């Protein structure tokens, strides 16, 4: 979706605010929100793409006016209800439905070191055929889906070059909407700064964006 989150190249967002000796967290509630991520993820609350899409669906004003961990909080409140782990009534009253089945937490404190050091790769171990190889010239599709996509606006319809094939990964546009993993190759794609931003950009500079097969077409006339 063409949401406020897709901000590469926008102007008017104000100056950088760089804090010296910044603490890891600024408020105690941020710590709890951070810790809710691995714990509710382990409980099967959502996949990463659903989580990101919940943030993207925030109102633009609210998104800009709130912090990173408020975005996360919004995502938990949205996606845990949407996926049925909690009900809207439970969220608004703050009380568990006495008739609901009580479960055991999926992530025990003792398992935290293991989860932290293993994570959950989105790489998929299958032998899918890549559409492109390193050095291929590609054009990014000009698509404007209303759902989740990881194709930023600023490279749509631009000419790029496949720099590296990273292998096969979950396709977020599908995974965010319960339509399966649709595994496909994901590449690092090179764009010259001038291709993206025009002749005013530095002739020396470049941008690399990770893009999936479904976002790309060949730039060769005979394809």
Partner 1 sequence: MSDTHDHAHPHNRKLTDPELRVKALETLLTEKGIIDPAAIDALVDTYENKVGPRNGAQVVAKAWSDPDYKQRLLEDGTAAISELGYSGIQGEDMVVLENTDEVHNVIVCTLCSCYPWPTLGLPPVWYKAAPYRSRVVKDPRGVLKEFGTKLPKEVEVRVWDSTAELRYMVLPKRPEGTASMSEEELAELVTRDSMIGVTEALSPS
Element (H, E) at 211: strand 206-212
**Residue choice 128, 141, 147, 150 for contact with partner 1 (CB under 8 A):** 150
User: Residues for the chain: how many in total?
Assistant: 223
Question: Counting contacts by CB under 8 A, is residue 55 touching partner 1?
Answer: yes
Question: Segment contacting partner 1 (CB under 8 A): 6-14, 130-138, 139-147, 176-184?
Answer: 6-14
The region that residue 166 occupies, defined by phi over 0 for left and psi between -120 and 50 for alpha, beta otherwise, is alpha
Question: Counting contacts by CB under 8 A, is residue 10 touching partner 1?
Answer: yes
Question: Counting contacts by CB under 8 A, is residue 199 touching partner 1?
Answer: no
Question: Counting contacts by CB under 8 A, is residue 59 touching partner 1?
Answer: yes
The count of chain residues that interact with partner 1, using the rule CB under 8 A, is: 104
Binding mask 12-31 vs partner 1 (x if CB under 8 A, - otherwise)?
A: -xxxxxxx--x-xxxxxx-x
CA angle (116, 123, 130) in 5-degree steps: 165
Q: Which residues contact 219 (CB under 8 A, 6 or more apart)?
A: 136, 137, 138, 139, 159
Question: Counting contacts by CB under 8 A, is residue 131 touching partner 1?
Answer: no
d(CA 32, CA 99): 27
Question: Counting contacts by CB under 8 A, is residue 116 touching partner 1?
Answer: yes
Question: Counting contacts by CB under 8 A, is residue 154 touching partner 1?
Answer: yes
Question: Counting contacts by CB under 8 A, is residue 122 touching partner 1?
Answer: yes
């Amino acid at each position: 979706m063409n949401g406020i989150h897709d901000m590469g190249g926008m102007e008017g967002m104000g100056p950088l605010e760089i804090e010296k000796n910044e603490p890891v967290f600024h408020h105690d509630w941020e710590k709890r929100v951070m810790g809710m991520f691995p714990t509710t993820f382990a409980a099967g609350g959502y996949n990463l793409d659903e989580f990101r899409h919940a943030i993207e669906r925030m109102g633009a004003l609210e998104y800009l006016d709130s912090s990173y961990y408020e975005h996360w909080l919004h995502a938990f409140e949205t996606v845990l209800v949407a996926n049925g782990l909690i009900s809207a009534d439970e969220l608004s009253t703050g009380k568990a439905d006495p008739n609901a089945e009580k479960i055991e937490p999926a992530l025990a404190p003792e398992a935290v070191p293991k989860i932290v050091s293993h994570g959950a790769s989105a790489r998929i171990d299958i032998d899918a055929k890549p559409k492109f190889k390193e050095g291929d010239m590609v054009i990014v599709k000009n698509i404007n889906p209303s759902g989740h996509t990881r194709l930023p606006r600023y490279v749509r319809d631009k000419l790029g070059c496949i720099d590296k094939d990273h292998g096969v990964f979950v396709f977020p546009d599908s995974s965010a909407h319960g339509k399966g993993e649709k595994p496909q190759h994901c590449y690092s794609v090179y764009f010259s700064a001038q291709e993206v931003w025009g002749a005013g950009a530095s002739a020396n500079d470049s941008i690399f964006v990770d893009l999936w097969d479904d976002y790309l077409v060949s730039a060769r006339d005979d394809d």
